């Protein structure tokens, strides 16, 4: 196996998008950004509702990425889709379930 010849070949840096990344650090940054920029609060002024909404937006961003990829696939393959909306699937009732499905429940 050939050794890397320069420093840029030796260092591999993984940069995750704050909107879609799944690492603990990225999730924390996304949560803090949503709390500050969407809810307009910092950790000293935030209410439990503000924390809840910041978490909901953090999860939503990750779900949206997957949903858009799914829609692109459906469009490309010209599939037919049936939509069903029920109160059980609203974000408030499903936040914990979505955290579990994304595999990030224990990271938060």
Confidence (pLDDT) at 58: 95
18 backbone dihedrals φ, ψ, rounded to 5°: -65, -20
Tokens in use for 73?
């696939």
Tokens in use for 67?
């949903």
User: Would you say how long the chain is, in residues?
Assistant: 108
- Kindly report whether the global pTM for this prediction surpasses the value 0.95: no
- Evaluate whether residue 93 is within a structural domain: yes
- Evaluate whether residue 1 is within a structural domain: no
- Evaluate whether residue 15 is within a structural domain: no
- Evaluate whether residue 9 is within a structural domain: no
pLDDT in tens, 55-105: 999 999 999 989 999 999 999 999 988 877 766 555 566 788 888 888 888
58, exposed or middle or buried, with CB in 10 Å at 0-12, 13-18, 19+? buried
- Evaluate whether residue 39 is within a structural domain: yes
- Evaluate whether residue 75 is within a structural domain: yes
For residue 78, is it left (φ>0), alpha (ψ between -120 and 50) or beta?
left
pLDDT in tens, 36-47: 999 999 999 999
Tell me the residue range of the domain where 58 lies: 21-107
Total domains in the fold of the chain: 1
């Amino acid at each position: 196996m050939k050794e890397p010849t320069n420093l840029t070949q030796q260092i591999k840096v993984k940069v995750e998008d704050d909107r879609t990344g799944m690492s603990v650090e990225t999730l924390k940054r996304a949560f803090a950004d949503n709390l500050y920029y969407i809810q307009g609060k910092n950790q000293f002024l935030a209410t439990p509702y503000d924390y809840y909404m910041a978490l909901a937006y953090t999860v939503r961003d990750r779900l949206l990425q997957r949903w858009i990829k799914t829609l692109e696939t459906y469009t490309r393959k010209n599939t037919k889709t049936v939509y069903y909306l029920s109160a059980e699937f609203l974000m408030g009732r499903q936040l914990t379930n979505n955290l579990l499905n994304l595999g990030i429940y224990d990271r938060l």
